[in-house]
């Protein structure tokens, strides 16, 4: 079966979510707890401040899967709920199969690190 990796809902407010880092390569077997991606959330469109209210989050897998494909590149904006990757139970699952459900993930707040897209864009 195929599963979607979706950008989690981090806030009720409209926010710009950017894919900052992707970790596994397509074809990789992913254990429970595998780090998948880092994202940033920018709330500056709704909160006026001298320093932009940007937070960083890591998406971590709560199930065992194979990564089949990434659908977004680092630096791209992703709406909350957007599917950013396709996962599967087996490495030879047909790519045209229907998505069974979203993958179970968890998110954690993290600090900025130099491997993020934001640091490369300067």
What is the helix (H) or strand (E) element at residue 68, kind and residue range?
strand 65-70
Query: Would 119 be classed as within a structural domain?
Result: no
Query: Would 118 be classed as within a structural domain?
Result: no
Query: Would 121 be classed as within a structural domain?
Result: no
Residue 44 clears pLDDT 60, i.e. is over it: yes
User: What CATH number does the domain containing 28 carry?
Assistant: 2.40.50.100
Residue 11 clears pLDDT 90, i.e. is over it: no
Region 39-67: mean pLDDT is 87
Query: Looking up tokens 């139970």, which residue turns up?
Result: 89
How would you label 27-57 residue by residue, b for 16+ Cβ within 10 Å and e otherwise?
eeebeeebbbbbbbbbbeeeeeeeeeeebbb
Region 29-55: mean pLDDT is 86
**CA-to-CA distance for 59 and 79, rounded, in angstroms?**
15
Query: Would 120 be classed as within a structural domain?
Result: no
The model carries a pTM of 0.89
**Domain, as residue range, for 95:** 2-113
pLDDT of residue 121: 57
Total domains in the fold of the chain: 1
């Amino acid at each position: 079966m195929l599963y979607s990796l979706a950008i989690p809902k981090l806030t009720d407010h409209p926010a710009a979510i950017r894919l900052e880092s992707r970790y596994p390569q397509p074809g990789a077997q992913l254990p429970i707890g595998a780090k998948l991606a880092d994202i940033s959330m920018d709330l500056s469109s709704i909160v006026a401040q001298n320093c932009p209210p940007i937070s960083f989050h890591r998406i971590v897998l709560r199930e065992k899967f194979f990564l089949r494909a990434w659908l977004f590149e680092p630096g791209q904006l992703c709406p909350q709920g957007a599917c950013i990757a396709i996962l599967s139970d087996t490495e030879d699952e047909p790519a045209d199969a229907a998505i069974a459900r979203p993958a179970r993930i968890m998110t954690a707040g993290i600090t900025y690190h130099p491997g993020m897209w934001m640091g490369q864009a300067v």
